[in-house]
Amino acid sequence: MNNMAKMKLATARARNLTLAGYFGLLILLPIWIWYLSPPELLSKEATTILWWLPALLPLRGIILNKPFTFAWSGFLAVFYISQAITTIIASDNEQYLALVELILASCWFTGAAMFSRWRGEELGLELPNRKKSKS
């Protein structure tokens, strides 16, 4: 199937929402770690690896508009949403950064869920049916 086939407007908007949240988060995290609020317990390098590297996993599939990648990357976005909520609650000096992270990760999650569903329908993709066991 051609992932570059004609895309409906709503699907394109969901993709753009995902890309804004995803790439915004990719830009925010290293700036946060290295410049705005360096970590106190771990080194900058270790913190960057722990927080930024997992976000790079779906990069190729997101660039190639693969609905399956968008779908599973949403689960990864939940990790950043939970981290942002924890930081908002627990940290006094990083609340605004965590709020930006929460907004970006929520855009990523919402857009990825919508895009994967709508694009999958447009391309005729379906989850395989499980065969009923003979008893």
Grade residue 1 by pLDDT with cuts at 50, 70 and 90: very low
Confidence (pTM)? 0.88
- Mean pLDDT value across residues 22-46: 94
Place of tokens 């895009």: 115
**Who contacts 4 (Cβ-Cβ below 8 Å, separation ≥6)?**
65
Q: What is the DSSP letter of 43?
A: -
Chain segment 89-117, per-residue pLDDT in tens: 999 999 999 999 999 999 999 999 999 99
Portion of the chain with pLDDT greater than 70, in percent: 90
Chain segment 60-89, per-residue pLDDT in tens: 999 999 999 999 999 999 999 999 999 999
Catalogue the E-assigned strands of the chain: none
Q: Which helix (H) or strand (E) holds 11?
A: helix 9-31
Q: How many residues does the chain have?
A: 135
Distance CA 49, CA 21 (A): 20
What is the reported pLDDT for 116? 94
Token pair in block for residue 19: 């890309």
- Residue 21 pLDDT greater than 60, yes or no: yes
Return left, alpha or beta for 95; rule: phi > 0 is left, psi -120 to 50 is alpha, else beta: alpha
